[in-house]
Amino acid sequence: MANERILIVDDDINICELLRLYLEKDGFQTEIVTDGIKAVEVFNSVNPDLVLLDIMLPGLDGWQICREIRKTSQTPIIMLTAKGETFDKVLGLELGADDYITKPFETKEVIARIKAVLRRSSAITSVTEAVKEVNFDKLSINLTNYELKVNGVAIDTPPKELELIFHLASNPNRVYTRDQLLDEVWGFEYYGDSRTVDVHVKRLREKLEGVSDKWELKTVWGVGYKFETK
């Protein structure tokens, strides 16, 4: 892991320069943007390996930037914000963010999180090269091109929903706790707040309900979820 390019998006130039100093000292390349609209343009032009993304920005806010990036890219995103409410954390994850750090933060923690997310991203790439697709009756889940098909028809599915169903379906009949899913799908232990898993499962069920009687996305009461085959 060396020479990865980090795009820092924050309207506080002091925070940007502090992060640049520590990141470049650790061997990363950096790009700084302080405006939301410009952030999307720079992202498309420099193709960074990871984005540190503040939420409160002029032009476009962090949520909107995250949505724009996720339309075309699975580049890792770590949200930076002074807000600590659960709603903001859950929303960021639902939009496809990979991690979430609240201000004020220690620069050592930011660097550690960046390295952890990059390692996980690299591991996912290796897995998808080896196991590109899982198939069941009337269901195809392809993690290489992020495509979910039901009865041969592609269903619009956000990245985290697809990663979640792929993870469960790749291990049929295995029961996962919510915390395990947060750790293994989102890549970190999410402060014990498991509501985001429930939200994603609910949305997946809306897409998959009644498709086949040979498998089911099932709740194991008091424990978690499993992809059950019959």
- The CATH number of whichever domain residue 97 belongs to comes to 3.40.50.2300
82 and 16 within one domain: yes
Report the alpha-carbon distance of residue 59 to residue 36 in Å, rounded.
5
The CATH number of whichever domain residue 197 belongs to comes to 1.10.10.10
Report the alpha-carbon distance of residue 163 to residue 172 in Å, rounded.
14
Burial 59-93 (b: 16+ CB within 10 A, else e): ebebbbbbebbbeebbbbbbbbbeeeeeebbbbbb
Name the domain count of the chain.
2
Domain boundary among 127, 153, 174: 127
Give residue 179's domain range.
Answer: 131-229
What are the beta bridge partners of residue 140?
135, 149
Q: Give all strands (DSSP E) within 61-146, no chain letters.
A: 77-81, 99-102, 133-136, 139-142
Q: Are strands 147-150 and 153-155 parallel, antiparallel or unpaired?
A: antiparallel
Report the alpha-carbon distance of residue 18 to residue 157 in Å, rounded.
37
Report the alpha-carbon distance of residue 47 to residue 42 in Å, rounded.
8
Tokens 């947060």 appear where? 182
182 and 71 within one domain: no
118 and 135 within one domain: no
Domain boundary among 73, 94, 127: 127
**Whole-structure pTM value:** 0.59
Cα–Cα nearest to 176, from 214, 223, 209: 223
89 and 22 within one domain: yes
Report the alpha-carbon distance of residue 79 to residue 151 in Å, rounded.
36
223 and 165 within one domain: yes
189 and 224 within one domain: yes
Q: What is the pLDDT, as a whole number, of residue 144?
A: 80
135 and 74 within one domain: no
Report the alpha-carbon distance of residue 14 to residue 25 in Å, rounded.
17
112 and 47 within one domain: yes
213 and 181 within one domain: yes
How many other β-carbons are positioned within 10 Å of the β-carbon of residue 49?
Answer: 20
Report the alpha-carbon distance of residue 67 to residue 69 in Å, rounded.
6
100 and 29 within one domain: yes
Domain boundary among 98, 127, 156: 127
Within 95-228, where are the H helices? Answer: 107-130, 159-169, 178-181, 195-208
11 and 118 within one domain: yes
153 and 116 within one domain: no
User: Tens-of-pLDDT digits for all 230 residues of the chain?
Assistant: 457 999 999 999 999 999 999 999 999 999 999 999 899 999 999 999 999 999 888 888 888 899 888 888 888 999 887 765 555 666 666 677 888 888 888 888 889 888 888 887 765 555 545 557 889 999 999 988 888 999 999 998 888 899 999 999 988 999 999 888 888 887 765 555 677 889 899 999 999 989 999 999 999 998 899 999 98
